[in-house]
C-alpha cells in the first residue's frame, strides 16, 4: 500500500524547525492577534504609532503605551469585552511575534513593560 506522504523527509533540521516549530492553531492565533493590534493602532489618531505597519519599530515606551491602551479598549466584533484568557492569548501572540522578528523586547517579563503590568493586575 503506497503512502500519500513519504514517511521520511529530506529537509535539514534548521528548515524543519523553522517550518514546524508552531502548530497551525498557534500560527492562526498569532495572525489574529497581529491583525487585531494593527487595526487598533490604526484607529489611534495621536503619536508616532498611528497606523504603524510595523509596531516592532516603536520605542519601548511608545509600544508600552500603545499596548496599555489596546488591552484596555479592545473589544470583540460584537462590542463585548474579551475574556481574561483571550487577552492573555492575544498578549502571548504579540510577544511571540516580537521574538520571531528578533527584537529584544519581552512584553511578558521585560523591565520596559512592567509599568502596564503593575497597573493592570490582569497580567500579574
Domain span at residue 58? 24-123
Is 30 within 8 Å of 22 (Cβ atoms)? Answer: yes
Is the model's pLDDT at 104 over the cut of 50?
yes
Per the structure, the count of domains in the chain is 1
The Cα 91–Cα 108 span in angstroms is 8
Q: 95: which 3 cell numbers?
A: 510577544
The reported pLDDT for the residue numbered 93 is 92
Q: Which residues are CB-neighbours of 54 under 8 A, at least 6 positions away?
A: none
The reported pLDDT for the residue numbered 47 is 46
> Tens digit of pLDDT for each residue in 1-55?
555 777 777 766 555 555 566 678 888 999 999 999 989 988 875 544 455 556 7
> Tens digit of pLDDT for each residue in 59-93?
888 888 888 889 889 999 999 999 989 998 999 99
Helices (H), 1-124: 13-20, 24-43, 60-73, 84-100, 114-119
Cell 520596559: give the residue: 112
Amino acid at each position: 500500500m503506497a503512502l500519500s506522504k513519504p514517511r521520511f523527509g529530506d529537509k535539514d533540521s534548521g528548515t524543519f524547525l523553522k517550518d514546524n516549530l508552531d502548530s497551525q492553531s498557534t500560527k492562526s492565533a498569532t495572525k489574529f492577534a497581529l491583525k487585531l493590534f494593527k487595526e487598533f493602532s490604526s484607529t489611534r489618531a495621536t503619536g508616532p504609532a498611528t497606523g504603524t505597519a510595523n509596531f516592532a519599530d516603536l520605542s519601548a515606551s511608545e509600544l508600552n503605551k500603545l499596548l496599555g491602551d489596546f488591552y484596555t479598549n479592545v473589544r470583540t466584533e460584537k462590542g463585548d469585552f474579551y475574556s481574561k484568557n483571550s487577552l492573555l492569548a492575544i498578549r502571548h501572540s504579540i510577544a511571540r511575534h516580537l521574538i520571531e522578528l528578533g527584537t529584544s523586547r519581552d512584553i511578558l517579563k521585560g523591565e520596559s513593560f512592567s509599568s502596564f503590568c503593575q497597573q493592570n493586575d490582569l497580567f500579574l
